[in-house]
Structure 1
Amino acid sequence: MKNPIGLQTAYWSGTNPKQNIHQIIRLTKAAGMDIIELKAADFVSLSALERSDLRKEIKQAGLCITVNGTGLRPQRDISSSNIEVHKAGIRHLKYMIDLCKEMGAIYFSEIPYGLWNTKPEGKDVAEIKKIRTENAISGLKEVAEHAHKTGVILCMEIVNRFEQYIVNTVDEGIALCQAINNENCKLLLDTFHMNIEEDYIPDSIRKASEQGCLGYLHLRESNRRIPTGKKKSNIDWSAIAKVIHEIKFNGPMVMEPFVLSQSPSAESVSLWRTIKEEEDIKGLVTDEKDGADYLRNL
């Protein structure tokens, strides 16, 4: 695959010693990446001058930027029926889009249609889901229009049933895109989540593309490891590569592995064992380089 290959900064979260953003930039480049995917915590709290310096540093390393992480919270939830909370969600997402523009990121992704790691607050799931979806569509129309004006592409990540309930499948994501009806609102498809929810990942990627909804991809194995081709896999990477070629998709492909049990996100992603030792910085770089090489040669 000839697509630009990237790595999310969260991959390095939990190393010992801890890596700062400047070290992460160097390690990401050393792993052979084209893209560094920033989390909101990497840049939101910085001053405008510090963000400018960070953007320059990343550019000098020869890397492009994508951003993953909406920063939505219960007090700023766009799917809420509480009008003040709903409006706060809209304001926050527009602010994040402005920061993405400031950082030079074309793609801004995660779950803008609701909160991560939530379950329905009642027994009538269908009705709750309907109301939450309608609220999200109403707010995201305004957010997507702001994205269009700024030139940022809002990519709604489709996650599995254990992490969200409003949108879990590509079909539901396409319906959400079509309801929002803005060319700057697309989908982020993730092979880990798709392996749980889709019948056949390549067909779902093709369908999203045919409907004009494919933004970019997150790539990882069914256990959230790095795809390297060195072991048998539950995911048919060759078939995914084939459909990518057939639909002529040239967008980003970002690896988002979770392998460090000391990561702050280990509990939230249910990583209850050590996949990679936290001190093995060299091994982390080698694994990512192997992954990038494998994907490029598919």
Structure 2
Amino acid sequence: MKIGMNLLLWSGHIGPEHADLLRAIKATGFDGVEVPVFDPADTDHYATLGAMLDDIGLERTAVALIPDEAHSPISPDAAARQGAVDHLTRVIDCCAALGSQGLVGPWYQPLGVFSGAGPTDTELERCADVHRAIAGKARDAGMFCALEPLNRFESYLLNTCEQSSAYLERLGEPGFGILYDTFHANIEEKDPVAALTTALAKGHVNHVHISENDRGTPGRGHACIRETIAELKARHYDGWLTIEAFGKALPELAAATRVWRDFFVNPEEVYVEGYRYITQCLEHSA
């Protein structure tokens, strides 16, 4: 397994000004970082960032979102669904320039937008059509795709591993999998580890976020992180364990994820203690 750090803790747009931070992350022991690709207008920027990460010695994955309803894969408006295809196509171009190994995140609906009901079969099929349209491009770029089920307060299309597995079966694209997140599973799954076990047995989990129950420092809360890592190791998972924690650095994301207070003393606590905790869990698991 590889250990990564999601850079949304600091910014939604990583650049040369973050070089010292990236070197510190590398010096801590991380294998790579997860880069937000929220503004996919400039592939040259991501190519430059990729070269900088190569120089530092950090591998990378990328995380993306659906920016708004004008780019929603589940919209009844065909123009919005085409907007989603266009947006994700640009994201993949930036990921390719970055040298990203995978594209992860909840890029199936805008955050915090609700219909007042659960997902419909029509919405799921609309979303699948959008994802099928970009699957080949992602595959040609050599990237895996991991969709992240979120808790019911942030999205409604995919909340659980069971729903996500059913969606993957509907989608029928082998390059797609589930991003299992310990924070969201702590809210939505009756038994988070059992849900993970079932998804792993189906071969559906291809990325993991290590996120504490309060989205703070891993190991300082009650999310099933140690048990999750033990299960992943027992099932021979060989992908990423990427720390995801949120602060108030990005006001729009803080609002969408309901981050109203500080969950840690400083970001260094999150990545230093988080890395130490993950490596201890890996060492002590059977």
TM-score (norm 1): 0.85
Matches within 5 A, 1:1-298: 3-13=1-11, 20-41=17-38, 44-46=40-42, 48=44, 50-120=45-115, 122=116, 125-126=117-118, 129-228=120-219, 231=220, 233-258=221-246, 260-264=247-251, 265-277=253-265, 280=266, 283-284=269-270, 286-298=272-284
| Paired residues of 1:129 and 1:165 also in contact (CA < 8 A) | no
Q: Which runs of 5+ in 2 are unaligned?
A: none
| Paired residues of 2:4 and 2:31 also in contact (CA < 8 A) | yes
Distance 1:251 1:173 in 2: 18
Aligned pair count reads: 280
| Paired residues of 2:36 and 2:62 also in contact (CA < 8 A) | yes
Distance 2:267 2:145 in 1: 33
The amino acid of 1:249's aligned partner reads: Y
RMSD across aligned positions (CA): 2.3
Task: Give the number of the structure with larger relative contact order, counting CA–CA contacts within 8 Å between residues 6 or more apart.
Answer: 1
Distance 1:219 1:4 in 2: 12
Q: Which secondary structure does the structure 2 equivalent of 1:287 belong to? A: helix
Q: What CA deviation, in whole Å up to 9, does each residue of 1:227-249 have, x standing for no partner? A: 23xx5x42333322221122110
Q: 1:249 to 1:293 in 2, by over 3 A?
A: closer
Q: Which secondary structure does the structure 2 equivalent of 1:217 belong to? A: strand
| Paired residues of 2:107 and 2:147 also in contact (CA < 8 A) | yes
Deviation (angstroms), 1:71 = 4.2
| Paired residues of 1:145 and 1:182 also in contact (CA < 8 A) | no
Q: 1:11 to 1:294 in 2, by over 3 A?
A: farther
| Paired residues of 1:65 and 1:105 also in contact (CA < 8 A) | yes
Deviation (angstroms), 1:288 = 3.8
Deviation (angstroms), 1:292 = 4.2
| Paired residues of 1:40 and 1:71 also in contact (CA < 8 A) | no
| Paired residues of 2:6 and 2:242 also in contact (CA < 8 A) | yes
| Paired residues of 2:66 and 2:106 also in contact (CA < 8 A) | no
Aligned residues with identical type, % of pairs: 21
| Paired residues of 1:78 and 1:114 also in contact (CA < 8 A) | yes
Of stretches 260-269 and 185-194 in structure 1, the one that deviates more from structure 2 is 260-269
Deviation (angstroms), 1:52 = 2.5
Q: Which secondary structure does the structure 2 equivalent of 1:199 belong to? A: coil
Q: Which secondary structure does the structure 2 equivalent of 1:20 belong to? A: helix
Q: Which secondary structure does the structure 1 equivalent of 2:89 belong to? A: helix
Q: Which secondary structure does the structure 2 equivalent of 1:143 belong to? A: helix
Distance 2:137 2:213 in 1: 35
Q: What CA deviation, in whole Å up to 9, does each residue of 1:199-235 have, x standing for no partner? A: 222221221122121111001111112223xx5x423
Deviation (angstroms), 1:129 = 2.9
Q: 1:29 to 1:133 in 2, by over 3 A?
A: same
Q: Which runs of 5+ in 1 are unaligned?
A: none
Q: Which secondary structure does the structure 2 equivalent of 1:294 belong to? A: helix
Deviation (angstroms), 1:74 = 1.4
Deviation (angstroms), 1:92 = 1.4
Q: What CA deviation, in whole Å up to 9, does each residue of 1:1-59 have, x standing for no partner? A: xx110111112249xxxx93323312321332111100114x735452x4322212111
Distance 1:97 1:262 in 2: 25
Deviation (angstroms), 1:148 = 2.2
Q: Which secondary structure does the structure 1 equivalent of 2:153 belong to? A: coil
Deviation (angstroms), 1:282 = 5.0
| Paired residues of 1:72 and 1:89 also in contact (CA < 8 A) | no
